[in-house]
Structures are given as structure tokens and as C-alpha cells.
A = this chain, B = another copy of it.
Amino acid sequence: MRDDFHQQLDTLRDDLARMCTLAGTALRHATAALLDGDQEAAGLVFDDVERLRLLQGTVERRTVVILARQAPVAGDLRTVVSAIRIAADADRMGGLAALVARMAVARHPGRVLPDDLIDTFGRMADMAIESADRCVDAVRTGHLDLAGDIRERDDAVEEMHADLHRRVVGASWPHGCAVASDVVLLGRFYGRFADHAAEIARRVRFQAAGVTAGI
């Protein structure tokens, strides 16, 4: 049976996994609002984000309690310190999903995206959401291959974002500047979402390797 301290660490990992799940769900809902004009889904994003915020508070409280009562050292200490940063990344992923949803709501009943960009954003969203879903397993298991996979997805989303930017600034862009600026911002939101997932993966990877990320 796990002792009290390791049970607390397990609970912390479970909370982080729930945060990554919620971040993915939030972006799924936001993407439904963006691509299908689903207003109900947009409303769900704001609930997801509120739950993420509460969970982040819970994680920070738990880390402070663990640090104060258990005074962990070495790998366990690094796990607790990393948890603070992972929770901040997952919370920000929710914030980015909220920005996507807010843009969809602001343009409703109009669509934000022209028809010829729906597929591109659909693929970008799929990759970003999958990155979040894989973070769930990564933070729970510390498995490295999954983390590498997330890194590749992040690069792919970044490349799509750069490609979008090239299309928007090209001479043959037919949709006007209002749509151009929405498209560029949306591309950035999805790109940053994937960045944060990659950052979580990087933390998990370094932690498993016995080195704290960024140190």
C-alpha cells in the first residue's frame, strides 16, 4: 500500500491529468463553436475554463501543503516543483481555448472563417487537441515516447500557422483584412496551445530523466 506522501503525489498527478483533460475538452468545444457555429459549445468552454482555474488553485494549495508537511527532496521535490509549472501551462491552454470561443461568439451569427480555411483549422485543432490528450497520459505515467510525439505535433501546428500567415499576406488573399487578422490571431491561439502542451511534455521528459526542465 502507498504511504501517505506517495498518495499525495499520486493525487497531485491525477489533478494535473484532469487539468490536461479539461484543456483538451475546452479546445474541442471552442473548435465546435468556431467551425460549426455551435453557441452551446462556446458556453461550455467558459465552464471548462472556470473548472481549470479552480483546479489550478487546488494544485497550488496541494503543492504548498506537501512542501510544508513532507519537505520532499531529490526527484520527489522536482515532481512537486514541476507540478506548479504544469498546472500554469494547462490553465493557460484553457485561456487560449476561451479566446477562440470568444472570437466565435463575437462574430456570431456570421462565421469567422472562410470555407477554404475550415479544413486547415480543423486539422490544426485536431493536432492541438491530441497534444493535450497525450499530456494526460504523460503527466500520469511519465512515459517518454508520448512526450516526443507531442513535440512533433507542436512543430506541425507551428508549420501550419506559418503557412496560414503566408497565405494571408500573399497577393491572392481574397477575404479582406478583417478576416486576415482573425485568421492570424486564431492561428496563433492554436499554435500557443500546442506550445504549452509541448512545454508540459518537456517537463515530464526531463523529470523522468532526473533533470529539471530549464535548469
Q: A177 contacts the other chain (Cβ, under 8 Å)? A: yes
* Residues of chain A in range 131-156 having any CB-CB distance to chain B below 8 Å: none
Interface of A is mostly: helix
Mark contacts of A151-177 with chain B using CB atoms, 8 A cut-off: 1 yes-contact digit, 0 otherwise.
Answer: 000000000000001001100010011
Q: A77-B67, A77-B68, A85-B84 are in contact. Are A215 and B57 (CB under 8 A)?
A: yes
Number of copies: 2
Expressed in whole angstroms, the Cα–Cα distance for A173 and B176 within the complex equals: 10
Closest to A176 in B: B177
Question: Which range holds the interface residue count of chain A?
Answer: 20 to 34
* Of the residues B60, B71, B173, B180, contact of A215 by C-beta under 8 Å: B60
Expressed in whole angstroms, the Cα–Cα distance for A135 and B141 within the complex equals: 38
Closest to A69 in B: B73
Q: A110 contacts the other chain (Cβ, under 8 Å)? A: no
Expressed in whole angstroms, the Cα–Cα distance for A78 and B88 within the complex equals: 16
* Of the residues B63, B88, B165, contact of A181 by C-beta under 8 Å: B165
A176: chain B residues within 8 A (beta carbon): 177
